[in-house]
Amino acid sequence: MANVNGGERGQLVLLTAVAIAALLVLVAVLLSSLVYTENVATRDDSGADARAAQLHRIAAIDAVEGLTERANRDGTSYEAFRESVAAWESQQAQHAATTGASATVTVRSTTNGTRIGQTNASYTLTNASGVGSWTLVSGATAVEGWTLTVNESSLVTPTSTANATTLAESGAFHVVATNGTVTRQAFLYRESGDVVLHVDSGAGALEPPCVATPDGNGTVTVDISARTVESTDCAALGLLDSWSGSFAIAHSNGENATGTYSLVVDRPIDEVDDGDVTTGGGGTPFAAPHTADVRIDVTYTTADLRYRVWNVPVEEDAP
């Protein structure tokens, strides 16, 4: 190996330092160019283009949020939702063109989920064919907006409330959630004019019951996502949607309860609609597309400005 004297070693160190410094400058330039792509709008001399770009971004977020809410309210297909965004973009592009600008809005990503529900309060909590024990969804990893309203008069009064087995054998309606290894159940039954909710944690014991008096319509609302029964805290409900992996949701003894329910899961509709539900709404159990987690790309370009914002989240208030 060749010997390197002190002077040559110093030159090598200097050259290495210069190379590293040049690399850092290059990285800084690249990062600055990325930041500038968005900030250039605020540095436009006239300010008019900058304001127009910002207004376009705000309008795009508001419009797509509204289109998302409408699509979910109407049960619009995933494809039709994207087409509605494209139609709005086309209108904005035409308007921008009159000022010599180019404006775009594109959907970058979404979560194609499904709303499962029932709106006929007099219908049992069975599937569309009247089967009392059935699976609403399997393979879900998230559920939100999960509510259930039952008619007190439709529920059974169990002969025994000692444990989950006796409750099930007494015909008490219950919601079942399972990951295939652990099964948790929420039983609803009548007792002295009240509605009692009893959760089986899957560990062999019932959690303390949550009791509610029916409202003026004779109903009790259970908000599983909010962990409440008639707006009163019921912490045990958190066991039903607290899973680290995928899980399934089912109804059991659904013939012994009437009411309505709604929940949104992160599974596409073609993986949920298996004959237990109908599509297109209606009083009996239904499934409808639900679009969530929408992110968009927004651009606005003029002769003096190039404005780009990527992966912008669009919030929707209600599931």
Count of domains observed in the chain? 2
Question: What pLDDT is attached to residue 205?
Answer: 85
Asked if the structure places residue 214 within a domain, the reply is yes
Instruction: Give residue 124's pLDDT.
Output: 97
Secondary element (H or E) of residue 117: strand 102-118
DSSP 133: S
Assigned domain for 84 exists: yes
Q: How far is CA 318 from CA 72, 115, 146, in A?
A: 10, 12, 11
Residue 260: beta bridge partners? 149
- On whether residue 35 sits in a domain, the answer given is no
| 164/48 same-domain check | no
Locate tokens 């109908």: which residue?
A: 278
3-class state of residue 25 by DSSP: helix
Parent domain of 101: 44-113+293-313
Which two three-digit tokens encode residue 265? 């899961």
Identify whether residues 73 and 141 lie together within a single domain. no
Whether 126 is covered by a domain: the verdict is: yes
CB 298 within 8 A of CB 104: yes
| Token pair of 208 as six digits | 């303390």
Q: What is the pLDDT of residue 274?
A: 79
Q: What is the mean pLDDT of each run of 10 residues along the chain (319 residues)?
A: 49 51 51 41 65 96 97 96 98 96 97 96 95 96 97 97 95 97 97 96 90 97 98 97 95 98 96 81 84 97 94 78
Beta-bridged to residue 196, according to DSSP, are: 189, 211
Question: Do residues 175 and 258 both lie within one domain?
Answer: yes
Q: Is 130 helix (H, G, I), strand (E, B) or coil?
A: coil
Token pair listed for 102: 């180019």
- Quick one: 183 and 50 in the same domain? no
Same domain? For 158 and 189 the reply is yes
273 and 128 in a common domain: yes
The predicted pLDDT at position 41 comes to 44
Contact 207, 196 (CB under 8 A): no
Same domain, 74 and 222: no
Are 249 and 107 found together in one domain?
no
Same domain, 248 and 306: no
The answer to whether residue 226 is domain-embedded is yes
Tell me, yes or no, whether 221 lies in a domain: yes
| pLDDT recorded at residue 19 | 54
In this structure, the answer to whether residues 222 and 298 fall within a common structural domain is: no
Tell me the CA end-to-end span of the chain in Å, nearest whole number: 70
Both structure tokens of 123: 């219908």
Q: Look up the CATH number of the domain holding residue 187.
A: 2.60.120
My answer on whether 139 and 263 are in the same domain is yes
Q: Is residue 32 part of a domain?
A: no
State whether 276 and 297 are in the same domain: no
**Distances from the Cα of 154 to the Cα of 94, 115, 163, 196, angstroms:** 57, 25, 21, 13
Q: For residue 146, is it within any domain?
A: yes
Cα–Cα distance list, 31 to 36, 40, 124, 309 (Å): 9, 14, 60, 15
The three-state secondary structure class of 271 is: helix
The pLDDT value recorded for residue 315 is 83
